[in-house]
Amino acid sequence: MAASGAEGAETAAVAESAEDRAAVHGAGSLLDCPSCGSAQVVHVLGDDGGVSLVCTSCGHSWS
């Protein structure tokens, strides 16, 4: 059974977002937490204007 244009586009969008996630959250990426290894890392703007990284899994922060 052939997929309709809408189904094909939806499948491509899902595949593309999975590839994007793998590129961002892949093993050994520079944004993995050095404490726990999680890829759940966010940038936080400090009071002095500096930027720190914070792991949302374990709370470890670094810059």
pLDDT per residue of the chain (63 residues) written in tens, 0 to 9 = 454 554 444 433 343 444 554 555 555 567 899 999 999 999 999 888 999 999 999 999 998
CA torsion sign, 26 to 28 to 34 to 37? positive
Domain residue limits, the chain: 1-29, 31-63
| Sign of the C-alpha dihedral computed for residues 18, 13, 20 and 55 taken in this order | negative
Q: With CA atoms as reference, report the closest residue to 34 among 10, 62, 6.
A: 62
> Whole-angstrom Cα distance, residue 33 to residue 25?
11
Q: Give pTM, 2 decimals.
A: 0.52
* C-alpha to C-alpha distance for 54 and 63, rounded to whole angstroms: 9
